[in-house]
Chain A
Amino acid sequence: MSEIIIETSNLTRKYGTKLSVNQLNLRVPKGSIYGFLGPNGAGKTTTIRMLLGLIRPTSGQIRIFNQEIAKHRINILRRTGSLVESPSYYGHLTGYDNLHVVAKLLKVPVKRIDEVLEIVRLTPAAKQTVKGYSLGMKQRLGIATALLGNPDLLILDEPTNGLDPAGIHEIRALIKDMPTQHGITVVVSSHLLSEIDQMATHVGIIDHGQLLFQDSIGKLREQSAPLLVIKVDKPDEAQQWLQANGYQVIIDGDLLQLSNIDVETTKSINKQLFQAGFSVYHIKEHRRSLEDIFLDYVGKEGSL
């Protein structure tokens, strides 16, 4: 079991009587890209604000780098870079000066500013005032700011919000490099499954403040293993016959469904059914998309 960077226990936050985050137990392993997935208003941003000490939990605990955030906030934040929701910036200052403001507070050398500008490819726009930046540039400036202090942990809340496809692609590539090139653990929240699917190694699905799933993305994908769907003339008899021959078969309407299927078994099942005198009308592989699985978790009404 690898080291855990973020661990929350029964993390809860109430706004009035509304439970915004309910008994959350997050486990973010070291070196992972943890996709924090959920529809809008599920409690992602509230959770992230608690992780950064911007708001206080109603109950429950947060440990980051094995330290209690309530007691060691400054120590934890020293090793954490963050980007929370919409970009934060000083519009009247240039991109460079925005980073300079933070560099002073972090006590990092000014040459680090040029490095992070280079990483997010903002060097050409460094001398422009930020109020003239596009949303994508502001977002990239936010990521540059997050990287300024050479963090061990990067917490990014909806980093691709409002970006165009090229920008999204760029940010995604940037995030994917973090663990391998810089040894940074990344928590990235999104309401888009496709986005998490393309970069995360671990996934937590949250809805209505509750954690519905948390594991490696591989485990989530396993649930999308293909099914073999067979249509025959006598489904009931065919099911009994197949079960007698050692296959796990369920019947859905007049269709037979088998899981854990590969090409060889498909071939032999088809052949055996035919030899046993069943007419096979059609046989196909049905793959549930991650989208389907996600929707199963959050319910169909969950907006994507």
Chain B
Amino acid sequence: MKSALMSDWIKMRKTWIKVLVILGPFGVITLNALRYLQSYDAIVKPGDDAFNWALLIQNISHLLMPSLILGIALLTSLLAGLEHQGQAWKQLLALPVSRVQIYMSKFIWVTGLLAISATLCAVGTFGIGFAFGFTTHIPWVQVLQECYYPYFAAFGIIAIQLCLSLLIANQSFAITLGVLGMIVSGLTNALAPDGFNHAETWARWIPWTYPSLSAITHGTVQHIHFIYVIYGLVVGAAMVVLGMALFVRKEVH
């Protein structure tokens, strides 16, 4: 397994993959930082740090959700594209390595790289807060939940995108699905909070809603639903197994 992971690491040299991992959270944080710089007086209530933090979490979260879902689609597609581009599959799969390992290595890399993005996002959130002087009521747990819960809830999306990108050479399918997923996740965002009760009946069937439903802040009130993290992990595991089964049987022409 280690050799497959290291092999993929070399493949990622001189690609946009590693840049994207940093660029995603960088964009989310920078855009928010600019907004706070521009309209500090309108957004920040001096002296009410509890409110300031809650609003900051909400602002970060609204940008984080779409970038996470689109980022997953781009990242998996770039990673799979490396193999499709130079017709590398027939060489790779004629090597004495099990296809399960090759598939797992890709999955581990995507989830690992996105963990870095999620971490950077959390660090950036604290960074903005401290930079603008929110020194009391620091919501350590809430910020971590806002960044890591959607990440884990997105494992189903990761597994679906990876399966599609690896099995279908034409990456426009995977990217289209990613964009549609991003729109769907935005719809759940618009439903909150009044629509939550309604969403619970159907949202569990649509993995693209899990990240935003797992941790969403609306009207400076944070709603945490750990169940969507569980859903995300379950769907992720199921889709990895399914994708792997298809990949192992795939004929290489």
With contact pairs A77-B96, A105-B97, A145-B91 given, residues A90 and B82 touching in the complex (Cβ less than 8 Å): yes
With contact pairs A104-B7, A104-B10, A130-B86 given, residues A54 and B15 touching in the complex (Cβ less than 8 Å): no
Residues of B121-142 at the interface with A, using a CB-CB cut-off of 8 Å, are: none
Please give, as numbers and ranges, the residues of chain B lying within 8 Å of A85 by CB-CB distance.
90
CB distance from A43 to the nearest CB of B (A): 14
Q: Does B88 contact A (CB under 8 A)?
A: yes
Q: Does B87 contact A (CB under 8 A)?
A: yes
A55 and B251 contact, CB distance less than 8 A: yes
B10 and A101 contact, CB distance less than 8 A: yes
With contact pairs A101-B7, A104-B6 given, residues A90 and B94 touching in the complex (Cβ less than 8 Å): no
Interface string of B78-97 (1 = CB under 8 A from A): 00001001111111111111
Picked from A49, A90, A106, the residue with its CB within 8 Å of the CB of B252 is: A49
Q: Does A84 contact B (CB under 8 A)?
A: yes
Q: Does A102 contact B (CB under 8 A)?
A: yes
A90 and B98 contact, CB distance less than 8 A: no
Picked from A54, A75, A80, A105, the residue with its CB within 8 Å of the CB of B90 is: A54
With contact pairs A55-B252, A130-B86 given, residues A93 and B95 touching in the complex (Cβ less than 8 Å): no
Picked from A77, A83, A90, A97, the residue with its CB within 8 Å of the CB of B95 is: A77
Please give, as numbers and ranges, the residues of chain B lying within 8 Å of A83 by CB-CB distance.
91
A105 and B3 contact, CB distance less than 8 A: yes
Q: Does A265 contact B (CB under 8 A)?
A: no
CA distance A142 to B91 in the complex (A): 9
CA distance A107 to B7 in the complex (A): 10
Picked from A52, A100, A104, A129, the residue with its CB within 8 Å of the CB of B94 is: A52
Q: Does A56 contact B (CB under 8 A)?
A: yes
CB distance from A60 to the nearest CB of B (A): 16
Residues of B14-42 at the interface with A, using a CB-CB cut-off of 8 Å, are: 14-15
Q: Does B11 contact A (CB under 8 A)?
A: yes
Please give, as numbers and ranges, the residues of chain B lying within 8 Å of A162 by CB-CB distance.
none
Picked from A82, A107, A142, A149, the residue with its CB within 8 Å of the CB of B3 is: A107
CB distance from B143 to the nearest CB of A (A): 37
CB distance from A14 to the nearest CB of B (A): 13
Please give, as numbers and ranges, the residues of chain B lying within 8 Å of A92 by CB-CB distance.
13-15, 82
Q: Does B4 contact A (CB under 8 A)?
A: yes
A-B residue pair count with CB separations less than 8 angstroms: 87
CA distance A53 to B13 in the complex (A): 29
Residues of A143-200 at the interface with B, using a CB-CB cut-off of 8 Å, are: 145, 149
Please give, as numbers and ranges, the residues of chain A lying within 8 Å of B82 by CB-CB distance.
90, 92
B96 and A106 contact, CB distance less than 8 A: yes
Picked from B10, B87, B89, B251, the residue with its CB within 8 Å of the CB of A97 is: B10
CA distance A88 to B92 in the complex (A): 9
B96 and A90 contact, CB distance less than 8 A: no
Please give, as numbers and ranges, the residues of chain B lying within 8 Å of A130 by CB-CB distance.
86
Picked from B11, B14, B251, the residue with its CB within 8 Å of the CB of A101 is: B11
B88 and A89 contact, CB distance less than 8 A: yes
Please give, as numbers and ranges, the residues of chain B lying within 8 Å of A91 by CB-CB distance.
85-86
CA distance A88 to B94 in the complex (A): 11
Interface-central residue, B95, B252, B253, by most chain A CB under 10 Å? B95
With contact pairs A53-B94, A54-B252, A74-B96 given, residues A105 and B86 touching in the complex (Cβ less than 8 Å): no
Interface string of A30-56 (1 = CB under 8 A from B): 000000000000000000010011111
A106 and B87 contact, CB distance less than 8 A: no
Chain B residue with the shortest CB-CB distance to A104 = B7
A89 and B251 contact, CB distance less than 8 A: no
With contact pairs A84-B91, A90-B82 given, residues A74 and B98 touching in the complex (Cβ less than 8 Å): yes
Chain B residue with the shortest CB-CB distance to A93 = B13
B95 and A106 contact, CB distance less than 8 A: yes
Please give, as numbers and ranges, the residues of chain A lying within 8 Å of B88 by CB-CB distance.
88-90
CA distance A248 to B230 in the complex (A): 88
CB distance from A295 to the nearest CB of B (A): 29
Q: A91-B85, A149-B96 are in contact. List 15 more A-B contacts (CB 8 A).
A: A49-B90, A49-B252, A54-B94, A55-B252, A74-B97, A77-B94, A78-B96, A88-B87, A90-B82, A91-B86, A92-B14, A93-B13, A105-B7, A106-B96, A129-B14
Q: List 19 A-B contacts (CB under 8 A).
A: A53-B93, A74-B96, A74-B98, A77-B96, A82-B91, A84-B94, A85-B90, A87-B87, A89-B86, A90-B11, A92-B13, A92-B15, A93-B10, A104-B6, A105-B95, A105-B96, A105-B97, A107-B3, A130-B86
Which residues from chain B sit less than 8 Å from chain A, CB to CB? 3-4, 6-7, 10-11, 13-15, 82, 85-98, 251-253
